[in-house]
């Protein structure tokens, strides 16, 4: 557990009145801090009522910059507010420390509570969710939180008896997190995402790499092999923790992911100092390894996990080369489909091994027949567990599957979804564009993708990028449900309708959860058994 600072009487301003900000305000107030919530936008009646019931003062519609300058000791910054916004710059100029909600939560961990932290561009939620359920199966009190569902502060506020927190962490949350010390960390993969927030991909990588540097000295850092190559070439530091490289026989190479190539320096001092402000209750310094790059890039320096997915029979073969042993695992019928999930589950399984969970529990959770895993909402979520009869807008009956993958907010995530099924697919694609090129999706027309139904503000971009496949692209729909109706009308028995938008949701919905819930409600309304 991190050293717990004394917050009694300290004036905290909470910038952002979303669920993580409210939870941070509540847990700080519980421990005697003076808190004030400031929200630039309007707030819902429910949030306002909660703030009133908690007797937490607040403002909305603006940030009182002068109040912050004069009254704020520490700013708790919402992950949605960049560090180049006026409120952040004001704090920097006035030597007011800026911390994340994750940082605040780390101060109030229950005694002996273990943290495992997961980051990456894609797969974070599945890995986090699966890990928490695996720990539960091993009879630990565990919960998934962070950038998935429940905020970390709320999880701790509600569960003082919790034993393991499985925490999904975005780059935004990691920017201002300092004292969390996870026993296990995972960096799954790296794609061009959120580059509207960062000047370049290197800054994005640096933000995510902070999780690896925060790993507890006696813990493990599980890192994609191509990610660590990129990190070392950038001159980023390594933790004292054991490093386990993960590699898949099916994964792409990302050696050239940087906008401009950076030559590996043959020798340099790898040290990192983490400090978060002179007036915080304490500062943190983290000594790191000092090794030449040639040694860092030697595979002998690291333990490793290699995974191979067999498309013919859906089986998985794992080879583990660990500190004190080597192991081979074979999973005949995994509980979550798709080769991408092989790596997600493997990372969760390695964390479980490090925490002393028996191999038999790990493998039984992975195998479909013995697994107790329940799927994550909005990530390859089956609306029904098997084919059911749906009725289209013309009154025709269709025996199909409908899959909710609303959490897919970039092209790479949608490509992963398309690899997961071997049946004709009708893809609902659209929303608020994020600057991705949609052309790679067209390659799946050679496999099981039947047709794409563009919708929302991204429709024009989708039609442009996929013009080579115009015969397989439906006319654009104004909204998601109009596209869904079109897809259902054109689907045949045995087909799949897949919502995997590859876009953010904000042109039509509050967030991806809202989008997924609306889609699920539509699907249920089309079920024959629900028709009167």
List the binding residues. Answer: 120-126
Annotated binding-site positions for ATP: 120-126
* CA 25 – CA 56 distance, rounded (Å): 8
Nearest to 429 by CA among 383, 377, 497, 378: 497
DSSP state, residue 528:
G
Cα gap 266→205, rounded to integer Å: 21
Q: How many CB atoms lie within 10 A of CB 49?
A: 10
Residue 303 pairs in a beta bridge with 244
* 261 Cβ contact list (under 8 Å, min separation 6): none
Secondary structure of residue 301 in the 3-state scheme: helix
Angle, in degrees to the nearest 10, between helices 512-526 and 480-490: 40
Q: Which residues lie across from 438 on neighbouring strands?
A: none
Contact (CB, 8 A) for 79 and 130: no
What's the sign of the alpha-carbon dihedral 250, 256, 259, 263?
positive
Q: Which residues pair with 496 in a beta bridge?
A: 401, 425
**First-to-final CA distance of the chain:** 56
Helix axes 19-30, 45-53, angle to 10 degrees: 0
Radius of gyration for the chain, computed over Cα atoms and rounded to the nearest angstrom: 24
Q: Assess contact for 430 and 405: CB atoms under 8 A.
A: no
Calpha distance 64→86 (Å, rounded): 11
Other residues' Cβ atoms within 10 Å of the Cβ of residue 11: 16
Helix segments in 316-391, DSSP class H: 339-354, 359-366
Cα 319 to Cα 356: distance, rounded to the nearest angstrom: 19
């Amino acid at each position: 557990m991190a050293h717990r600072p004394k917050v009694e009487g300290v004036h905290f301003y909470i910038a952002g009145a979303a669920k993580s900000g409210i939870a941070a305000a509540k847990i700080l107030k519980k421990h005697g801090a003076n808190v004030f919530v400031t929200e630039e936008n309007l707030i819902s009646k429910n949030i306002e009522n909660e703030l009133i019931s908690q007797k937490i003062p607040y403002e909305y519609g603006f940030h009182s910059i002068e109040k912050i300058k004069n009254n704020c000791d520490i700013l708790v910054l919402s992950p949605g507010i960049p560090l180049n916004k006026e409120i952040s710059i004001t704090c920097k100029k006035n030597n007011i420390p800026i911390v994340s909600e994750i940082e605040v939560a780390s101060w109030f961990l229950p005694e002996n509570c273990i943290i495992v932290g997961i980051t990456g561009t894609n797969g974070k939620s599945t890995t986090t969710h699966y890990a928490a359920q695996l720990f539960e199966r091993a009879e630990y009190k565990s919960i998934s939180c962070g950038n998935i569902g429940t905020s970390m502060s709320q999880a701790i506020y509600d569960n003082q008896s919790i034993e393991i927190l499985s925490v999904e962490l975005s780059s935004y949350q990691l920017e201002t997190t300092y004292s969390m010390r996870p026993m296990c960390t995972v960096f799954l993969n790296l794609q061009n995402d959120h580059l509207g927030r960062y000047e370049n991909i290197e800054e994005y990588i640096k933000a995510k790499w902070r999780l690896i540097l925060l790993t507890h000295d006696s813990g493990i850092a599980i890192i994609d092999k191509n990610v660590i190559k990129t990190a070392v070439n950038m001159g980023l530091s390594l933790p004292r923790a054991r490093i386990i490289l993960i590699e898949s026989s099916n994964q792409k190479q990302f050696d050239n992911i940087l906008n401009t190539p950076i030559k590996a320096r043959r020798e340099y001092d790898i040290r990192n100092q983490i400090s978060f402000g002179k007036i915080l209750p304490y500062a943190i310094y983290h000594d790191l390894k000092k090794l030449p790059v040639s040694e860092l890039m030697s595979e002998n320096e690291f333990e490793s996990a290699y995974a191979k997915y067999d498309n013919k029979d859906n089986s998985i073969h794992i080879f583990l080369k660990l500190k004190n042993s080597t192991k081979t695992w074979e999973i005949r019928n995994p509980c979550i489909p798709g080769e991408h999930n092989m790596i997600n589950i493997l990372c969760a399984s390695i964390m479980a091994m490090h925490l002393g969970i028996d191999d038999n529990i790990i493998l039984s959770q992975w195998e479909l027949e013995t697994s107790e895993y329940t799927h994550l909402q909005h990530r390859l979520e089956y609306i029904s567990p098997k084919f059911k009869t749906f009725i289209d807008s013309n009154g025709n009956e269709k025996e199909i599957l409908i899959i909710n993958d609303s959490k897919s907010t970039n092209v790479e995530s949608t490509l992963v979804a398309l690899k997961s099924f071997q049946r004709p697919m009708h893809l609902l694609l659209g929303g608020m564009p994020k600057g991705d090129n949609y052309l790679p999706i067209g390659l799946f027309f050679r496999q099981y993708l039947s047709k794409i139904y563009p919708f929302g503000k991204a429709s024009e971009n989708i039609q442009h990028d996929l013009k080579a496949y115009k015969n397989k692209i439906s006319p654009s729909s104004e909204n998601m449900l109009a596209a869904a109706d079109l897809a259902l009308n054109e689907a045949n028995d045995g087909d799949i309708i897949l919502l995997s938008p590859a876009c953010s949701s904000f042109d039509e919905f509050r967030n991806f959860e809202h989008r997924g819930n609306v889609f699920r409600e539509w699907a249920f309304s089309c079920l024959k058994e629900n028709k009167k």
